[in-house]
């Protein structure tokens, strides 16, 4: 079984092949997702909400992420493993280096950080120190109190232009992948076409290079609510493995996300 690498993901983008990503937090689910050929497993700071019962992702610590990353890595043979850097774990480049080292040592192949152009120096420094980086733009959950809630981003012309400029800046700084969350479909398409790195969408329409979902949302078992951009694949298949297979098939065919899961 050939292991997924960042160069392999970039080749998928170049070939127009859709990339699939799911969150995972333990060895058992990681093994199941890996066996179903999900491309990327993300240890998301979403664990604060779906595992710990918090209202947002802010209480999650580096130690929390490292713990779950170690568990996911033990269940993974093929998939590419990405781990979030949690709230205030990268306020300065030096802090980012120290915390990223802990997460990479736990088994991540790449770290994900939220924010725009202000992170260029941090990303460049991480890459120079052999830490691959995935950016995250649009709705950035760690900034939920600044943006006033979980809202669609980039609908206004000036904000769309800034998001595109931020995306280009992150790529120029060395980011090798980007997650776009809750942005209009047209903007996500523009960003995906403007970048040479894979762009993974969540609530960003079907024209990104791939999709990511929180596993609890995909199975319809989230404690609080089902986001508009998600879909319960378990209810229509009745089996977790079949649900993962259906998710992969629908992403690859372009059937998911549909208009009902996207924003204009």
114 is in an annotated binding site: yes
Q: Could you tell me the end-to-end alpha-carbon distance of the chain, in angstroms, rounded to an integer?
A: 39
The two structure tokens encoding residue 201:
């969408």
Is residue 181 part of the annotated active site? The answer reads: yes
Confidence at residue 150, expressed as pLDDT on a 0 to 100 scale:
74
239 is in an annotated binding site: no
Confidence at residue 226, expressed as pLDDT on a 0 to 100 scale:
81
Number of other residues whose CB lies within 10 A of the CB of residue 161: 13
The single residue of 17, 54, 98, 181 carrying the catalytic annotation is 181
Confidence at residue 100, expressed as pLDDT on a 0 to 100 scale:
98
Specify the fold of 6-261: TIM Barrel (3.20.20)
CA distance 147 to 101: 29
pTM above 0.95, yes or no: yes
- Cβ within 8 Å of residue 88, ≥6 positions away: none
Q: Which residues of the chain have pLDDT under 50?
A: none
CA distance 32 to 70: 16
CA distance 159 to 4: 34
Q: How is the chain split among helix, strand and coil, in percent rounded to 5?
A: 45, 15, 40
Long-range contacts of 1-9 (CB under 8 A, 24+ apart): 1/77, 1/78, 2/78, 3/77, 3/78, 3/80, 4/39, 4/40, 4/78, 4/79, 4/80, 5/80, 6/80, 6/109, 6/110, 6/132, 6/176, 6/177, 8/80, 9/39, 9/40, 9/80, 9/177, 9/198
46 is in an annotated binding site: yes
171 is in an annotated binding site: no
Per domain, the residue ranges of the chain are: 6-261
262 is in an annotated binding site: no
């Amino acid at each position: 079984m050939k292991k997924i690498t960042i160069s392999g993901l970039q080749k998928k983008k170049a070939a127009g092949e859709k990339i699939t990503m799911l969150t995972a937090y333990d060895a058992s689910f990681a093994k199941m997702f890996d066996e179903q050929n999900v491309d990327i497993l993300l240890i998301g700071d979403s664990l604060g909400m779906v595992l710990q019962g918090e209202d947002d992702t802010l209480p999650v610590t580096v130690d929390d992420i490292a713990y779950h990353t170690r568990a996911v890595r033990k269940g993974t043979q093929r998939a590419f493993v990405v781990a979030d850097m949690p709230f205030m774990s990268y306020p300065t480049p030096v802090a980012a280096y120290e915390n990223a080292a802990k997460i990479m040592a736990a088994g991540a192949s790449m770290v994900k950080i939220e924010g725009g152009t202000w992170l260029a120096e941090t990303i460049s420094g991480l890459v120079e120190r052999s830490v691959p980086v995935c950016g995250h733009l649009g709705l950035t959950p760690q900034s939920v109190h600044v943006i006033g809630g979980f809202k669609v981003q980039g609908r206004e012309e000036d904000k769309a232009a800034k998001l595109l400029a931020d995306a280009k800046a992150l790529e120029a700084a060395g980011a090798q992948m980007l997650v776009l969350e809750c942005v209009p479909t047209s903007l996500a398409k523009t960003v995906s076409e403007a970048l040479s790195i894979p762009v993974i969408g969540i609530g960003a329409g079907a024209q990104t290079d791939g999709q990511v979902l929180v596993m609890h949302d995909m199975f319809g078992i989230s404690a609080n609510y089902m986001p508009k951009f998600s879909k319960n694949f378990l209810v229509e298949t009745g089996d977790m493995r079949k649900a993962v297979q259906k998710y992969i098939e629908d992403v690859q065919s372009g059937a998911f996300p549909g208009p009902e899961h996207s924003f204009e």
